[in-house]
């Protein structure tokens, strides 16, 4: 079966993209049908753990999803969290910062959206854009963005010290798979809205973005906020790996239902 720890990047490890096959399906060589059956059972387990986390209300979980264009962040969120209670799960999407956000430090807009006790929050893109897009597009000089790896690690350490478990997931697709997904957005009318001409500009910078991701993962994967490089060419397998990572993490957090009030066995409802 699937052991998601094989996709975890240890602290101070080097990342070599040739070691990370985006087509991998380790643990599920039986294929998509086997995977879908397993995902159904995983969804039930994830829903139970999420209910316990919400009821306990002493810990929280922050999931950071990053990927290149068409990497599958929206699809991952939709499929992995389909069975959970939406009251305790929040999704935050960080787009181009507003003028008001730019008037503050770059972590300001992120900090106010971290999860409260009992909640799971998913960042669809995140503060890592400030060492990815900012770096590749030259939106700030190196002397500025190069300091941010340390800032981010310390920010995440503070969150962990305050009771938030952090998972960082990079959805790893190939350049060829990205091309196929972009073509699908053009060919299918109900997907046209997803296509931006700017996506092609970013595609020309594929190698630059991969290098930026490599550095970010190497510099910021820690014991308290690990990175996982998840094979994402096969959407069904991507969903399985992410679900497995979440379940393993929540089981380690071991949330418990609160003890009931004393004397409930004497209550009579008429």
Q: Spell out the alpha helix ranges (H) of the chain.
A: 32-56, 73-80, 99-102, 108-111, 133-136, 142-145, 148-161, 175-187, 197-204, 206-220, 235-253
Expressed in angstroms, the distance from the first to the final Cα of the chain is 51
Whether the per-residue pLDDT at 239 is higher than 90: the answer is yes
Question: What are the tokens at 266?
Answer: 């004497």
How far is CA 225 from its chain centroid? 12
- List, in order of start, the domains of the chain with CATH numbers: 4-253 (3.40.50.300)
Mean pLDDT, to the nearest integer, of 113-138? Answer: 97
CA distance 4 to 246: 9
Instruction: Kindly report the pTM of this predicted structure.
Output: 0.94
Coil, strand or helix at 246? helix
pLDDT of residue 156: 98
Closest CA to 245 of 12, 46, 59, 90: 46
pLDDT of residue 196: 81
CA distance 149 to 20: 23
Which element (helix H / strand E) includes 167? strand 164-172
Whether the per-residue pLDDT at 198 is higher than 80: the answer is no
pLDDT of residue 188: 86
pLDDT of residue 136: 97
Whether the per-residue pLDDT at 173 is higher than 80: the answer is yes
Question: What mean pLDDT, rounded, does the chain reach?
Answer: 94
pLDDT band at 177 (very low <50, low <70, confident <90, very high): very high
pLDDT of residue 202: 86
- Strand bridging mode 60-67 / 120-124: parallel
Closest CA to 86 of 60, 119, 61, 44: 119
Q: How many Å is the Cα radius of gyration of the chain? A: 20
CA distance 131 to 102: 15
Whether the per-residue pLDDT at 204 is higher than 80: the answer is yes
pLDDT band at 189 (very low <50, low <70, confident <90, very high): confident
Percentage of the chain modeled with pLDDT above 70 = 100
Backbone angles phi, psi at 178, to 5 degrees: -60, -40
Mean pLDDT, to the nearest integer, of 210-235? Answer: 98
pLDDT of residue 267: 85
- Do the Cβ atoms of 71 and 232 come closer than 8 Å? yes
pLDDT of residue 250: 98
- Strand bridging mode 8-9 / 120-124: unpaired
């Amino acid at each position: 079966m699937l052991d998601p720890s094989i996709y975890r990047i240890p602290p101070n490890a080097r990342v070599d993209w040739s070691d990370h096959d985006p087509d991998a399906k380790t643990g599920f060589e039986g294929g998509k049908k086997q995977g879908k059956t397993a995902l159904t059972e995983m969804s039930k387990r994830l829903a139970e753990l999420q209910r316990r986390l919400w009821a306990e209300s002493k810990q929280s979980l922050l999931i950071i999803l990053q990927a290149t264009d068409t990497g599958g962040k929206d699809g991952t969120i939709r499929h992995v969290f389909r069975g959970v209670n939406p009251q305790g799960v929040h999704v935050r999407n960080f787009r181009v910062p507003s003028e008001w956000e730019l008037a503050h430090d770059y972590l300001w807009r992120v900090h106010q959206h971290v999860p409260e006790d009992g909640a799971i929050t998913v960042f669809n893109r995140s503060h890592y854009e400030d060492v990815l897009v900012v770096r590749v597009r030259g939106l700030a000089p190196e002397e500025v963005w190069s300091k941010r790896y340390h800032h981010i690690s310390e920010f995440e350490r503070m969150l962990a010290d305050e009771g938030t478990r952090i998972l960082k997931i990079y959805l790893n697709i190939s350049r060829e798979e990205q091309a196929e997904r972009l073509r699908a957005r053009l060919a299918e009318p109900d997907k046209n809205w997803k296509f931006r001409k700017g996506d092609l500009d970013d595609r020309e910078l594929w190698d630059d973005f991969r290098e930026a991701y490599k550095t970010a993962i190497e510099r910021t994967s820690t014991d308290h906020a690990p990175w996982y490089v998840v094979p994402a060419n096969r959407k069904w397998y991507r969903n399985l790996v992410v679900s497995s990572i979440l379940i393993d993490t929540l089981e380690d957090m071991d949330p418990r239902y609160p003890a009931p009030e004393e004397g409930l066995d004497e209550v009579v409802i008429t």
